Amino acid sequence: MTRSHRILAAAAVSLALAAGTACAADIGQVKVAKGSVTIERGGQSIPATLGARLQQRDVVRTGADGSVGITMSDNSLLSAGPSSEIALDQYSFDPTTNDGRFDTKLSKGTLAVVSGRIAKQSPKAMTVHTPGATLGVRGTEFVVSADGGRSVR
Amino acid sequence: MAADRYAEARDVVRILRRFAHITGCTVRIVALGVVALAAGCATPTGTVVLLPAQDGHRSVLSVSEGGREVLLDKPYAAAETTTQGPRGYESSKAEVAKNFGTALAAQPARLQRYTLFFNEGNDALTDESKATFERVFPDIAKRSVPDIVVIGHTDSTGSDQLNDRLSLQRANAIRDEMIRRGIPAADIVAEGRGKREPLVKTGEGVAEAQNRRVEIIVR
């Protein structure tokens, strides 16, 4: 590999990185954070501070003393209680047409949801997965847990 | 049917007990275990409860797994999710407060919507809308992490392409004014919905002042 090739390769890598940053659009924002709350992004764990922006495929975790409230760009509200894990598996939203797709997974803990513009536009566009169910969200407000059944609580 | 199975299982355990001197309590637990096995171990995994919608809209939620579906369509309609599908039940405000109190307490503040209209023939806000615009700033100031969405709308005259552009221009003009008034640019997003969301429903090609508007959403 010649020197100029190396420079070209480096330039290509930085362009790819820049494009990656541009593509990773903000999809939501942390509006409430109490106790321990972290965001796992690309294998790294970052603290979810007030105002932190979220991206598709982020996993939000709360500790035993934690809770978190998130507003999504389509006006959906997600909030989780202690010892919870929410994966923002898929999110796309076109604010001109309101078309989009929003798939979330609750692996453990508790989650309160108010659906937004994506679910209002299409009753099939928003789902929440839990270890025992798929929720089709036609609107608008509900709570869901992944900690065992009624008698367990 | 479950009761029959329970009785059956209890008989089995009664026989076992003669040999092993098991206590009554254990009998009950073992019998329940046998029932669970007979039913194919539908292990509970969680619960889902539909809540009354604060905006007054009707809420509907479908809960499905393994070919079974429970439709929740009124406040506090609930489902227990299990490894073998959901089972419907009736929850209550008290049960929701007990099990989901912390998650609900962490819910972000609800959004507030302000609608601005323009004078006929120019791009200036009507006097009423100027007053509405002033109310946006104290609302932003009282929120801990405010973000703002400015959405432009048009009437139904002209093509989609033209109206998408015009509505975004309208939104950007209001966004610029908010930035000039000290709101950080990074906190405001401008969007154009074109003619897709009229306030007053009209046919195609109708000039309707009520539909030429900008919404400011503070959240």
At A7-21, the pLDDT tens digits run 555 544 444 444 334
**Residue B10 pLDDT class (50, 70, 90 cuts):** low
Q: What is the pLDDT of residues B191-208, one digit of tens each?
A: 999 999 999 999 999 999
Which residues 65-104 on chain A approach chain B with CB closer than 8 angstroms? 67-71, 73, 75, 77, 79-82, 84, 95-98
What domain range includes position B148? 112-218
Q: What pLDDT is stored for residue B17 in this prediction?
A: 55
Domain end position, chosen among B58, B75, B107: B107
**Residue B114 pLDDT class (50, 70, 90 cuts):** very high
Under a CB-based contact definition with an 8 Å cutoff, are residues B149 and B217 in contact? yes
Whether B171 and B145 map to the same domain: the answer is yes
Mean pLDDT of B127-146: 96
Q: Is the previous residue joined to A140 through a cis bond, with omega within 30 degrees of 0?
A: yes
> Is 70 exceeded by the pLDDT of residue B15?
no
Question: Which parts of chain A sit beneath pLDDT 50?
Answer: 1-2, 11-23, 152-153
Buried b (16+ CB within 10 A) or exposed e, A8-33: eeeeeeeeeeeeeeeeeeebbbbbbb
Whether B86 and B147 map to the same domain: the answer is no
CA-nearest residue of chain A to B55? A140
Q: Which of B63, B103, B108 sits opposite A31 (nearest CB)?
A: B108
Q: What pLDDT is stored for residue B39 in this prediction?
A: 52
Residue A41, number of CB atoms within 10 A of its CB: 16
Whether B191 and B121 map to the same domain: the answer is yes
Most B CBs within 10 A among A65, A76, A145, hence the mutation to make, goes to A145
Whether B79 and B172 map to the same domain: the answer is no
Q: What pLDDT is stored for residue A153 in this prediction?
A: 46
Cβ–Cβ of B65/A29 closer than 8 Å? no
Q: Has this prediction a pTM greater than 0.90?
A: no
Cβ–Cβ of A80/B106 closer than 8 Å? yes
Domain end position, chosen among B107, B122, B142: B107
B166 touches chain A (CB under 8 A): no
Q: What pLDDT is stored for residue B6 in this prediction?
A: 53
Cβ–Cβ of B48/A84 closer than 8 Å? no
Whether B69 and B94 map to the same domain: the answer is yes
Domain end position, chosen among B107, B123, B144: B107
Whether B95 and B133 map to the same domain: the answer is no
Mean pLDDT of B73-95: 95
Whether B91 and B51 map to the same domain: the answer is yes
Q: What is the pLDDT of residues A75-88, one digit of tens each?
A: 999 999 999 999 99
Percent of all residues in chain B with a pLDDT value above 70, rounded to a whole number = 81
**Residue B102 pLDDT class (50, 70, 90 cuts):** very high
Whether B158 and B212 map to the same domain: the answer is yes
A64 touches chain B (CB under 8 A): no
Cβ–Cβ of A143/B192 closer than 8 Å? no
Mean pLDDT of B20-32: 48
Residue B29 distance to chain A (closest CA, Å): 15
Residue A48 distance to chain B (closest CA, Å): 13
* Secondary structure (3-state) at B62: strand
Whether B208 and B185 map to the same domain: the answer is yes
Q: What pLDDT is stored for residue B8 in this prediction?
A: 56
Whether B143 and B210 map to the same domain: the answer is yes
Question: For strand A126-130 and strand A100-108, is the pairing parallel, antiparallel, or unpaired?
Answer: parallel
**Residue B12 pLDDT class (50, 70, 90 cuts):** low
Number of domains into which chain B is organized: 3
Q: What pLDDT is stored for residue A25 in this prediction?
A: 76
* Secondary structure (3-state) at A111: strand
Residue B44 sits at the vertex; the CA angle it makes with B43 and B49, to the nearest 5 degrees, is 160
Whether B120 and B164 map to the same domain: the answer is yes
Chain A residues touching B217 at Cβ < 8 A: 75
Chain B residues touching A67 at Cβ < 8 A: 102-103, 105-106
Whether B167 and B202 map to the same domain: the answer is yes
Residue A122 sits at the vertex; the CA angle it makes with A116 and A123, to the nearest 5 degrees, is 85
